[in-house]
Structure 1
Amino acid sequence: MSLKSRVTVPNLDLPLAGGGRFNLAEQKPAAFTMLVVYRGLHCPICKGYLNDLNRKMDDFEQAGVIAVAATSDNAERAEKAKLGWKLDRLPLAYDMPIDIGREWGLSVSKAIADAEPEVFLEPGLFLVDPGRKLYAASVQTMPFARPNFAEVLQAVQYVVKNGYPARGEA
């Protein structure tokens, strides 16, 4: 199943590494909430990707974007990622249920290495408007070929400045 633009996305209410919760329905972004789903602690590509986003948090905030990363990893693995990867700005949600990931159109993989969980969600990036409708999405079936955060930021700035509508709803 995949989500369509301009359609309300499923709500997410997940615990955050370090305490607290992320509830999508409670977010009040000026432009978008950006949900970045990552594979988990076992993924070195995820580490670099989320570190890039962590460095750009001020830029995204200035563009009106609330960013959060989410994973199907458990609390222990999410805490290790947050601390070990030095994600001091980026909120890290965990325990995203596999069935909810499927509702979001994410791929699910089975472990092929000891370091991997038995099953886990593959990456996705979602821009959700303030009304909780999908604006844009990029979903991968493996760790490669993810959207570049500098380009995503540039696109968000263009969209906000020009009132560019969501596409892909037909």
Structure 2
Amino acid sequence: MSYASPAVPAPPRPRTPAPELKAPLVGGGTWSLSEQSPAAFTMVVFYRGLHCPSCRNQLGQLDSRFGELTAMGVQPVAVSADPVERAEHVRTGWGVREVPVAYGLTVATMREWGLFVSRGSNPQEPEFFNEPGLFLVKPDGELYYAAITNMPFGRPPLDELIGGMSFVLGSRYPARGDA
């Protein structure tokens, strides 16, 4: 039996407007990309969900460096397709205290952002979930940086991201990959 892939929109490109992103937040309220006003970047971290130990490590590192990121003018948010109960466990069980945790990402939104979509393969995984992606969006809504992977591994190391952001912010380095 073969699986036919659905028609997928082109992923967002650097120097073009990032897709809108709106999702409910653990603790109440709604997070919306268009309402963000960072000094430098909004960092959108798409994580796979509660079932993913690599995501726990990534969000733990992100949370521990939250103050450093915000001092640089970077506002991070973590987003997954998890329902509220699982997202609340990410906040409390994983100890993610500083980084806003959004949930309820739809498959359509995953595809708009160019994320890989997986089907659950065991009882711990949801029916569908996104694979990791990390994006930096400029204050005007323009996409600056994109890192997308189809596996739990291969995410950009946070130290390297922080070093890179320090460099580009200090040198006004242009976004790449738009040709």
Q: TM-score range by the shorter chain?
A: over 0.9
State how far apart, in whole Å, the 2-side matches of 1:115 and 1:12 are. Answer: 26
Distance 1:69 1:135 in 2: 18
For each residue in 1:11-50, what CA deviation from the matched residue of structure 2 results, as whole angstroms up to 9, or x when unmatched?
A: 1111111112211001001000000000000001100110
The residue aligned with 1:14 is 23
Tell me the distance in 2 between the aligned counterparts of 1:99 and 1:13: 12
Counterpart among 108, 113, 116 of residue 117 in structure 2: 108
The answer to whether residue 164 in structure 2 is matched with residue 158 in structure 1 is no
Give the Cα–Cα distance (whole angstroms) in 2 for the partners of residues 24 and 146 of structure 1: 22
Larger Rg: 2
What SS is found at the alignment partner of 2:134?
strand
Gaps of 5+ in 1: none
Could you tell me how far 1:2 is from its partner in structure 2? 1.6
- For 1:158 and 1:19, how far apart are their aligned partners in 2? 35
1:126 maps onto 2:126 in alignment: no
Query: What amino acid is aligned across from residue 146 of structure 2 in structure 1?
Result: A
Secondary structure of the residue aligned to 2:27 is coil
Equivalent pair of 2:25/2:31 in contact (CA under 8 Å) = yes
2:3 is aligned to none
How many residues are aligned here? 170
TM-score (norm 2): 0.93
Where does the alignment leave 5 or more consecutive residues of structure 2 unmatched? 1-9
Shift of 1:9: 1.1
2:79 aligned residue? 70
Letter in 2 for 1:58: G
Q: State the match for 1:36 in structure 2.
A: 45
Could you list the structure 1 runs, at least 4 aligned residues long, displaced by more than 4 angstroms after superposition: none
CA-atom RMSD, angstroms?
A: 0.7
Q: Secondary structure at the match of 1:167?
A: coil
Whole-angstrom distance in 2 between the partners of 1:76 and 1:60: 27
> CA contact under 8 A between 2:12 and 2:19: conserved in structure 1?
no
1:112-157 deviation digits (Å, cap 9, x = unpaired): 1110001101100000001111000000101001011111111111
Taking structure 1 as the reference length, the TM-score comes to 0.98
Counterpart residue identity of residue 20, structure 1: G
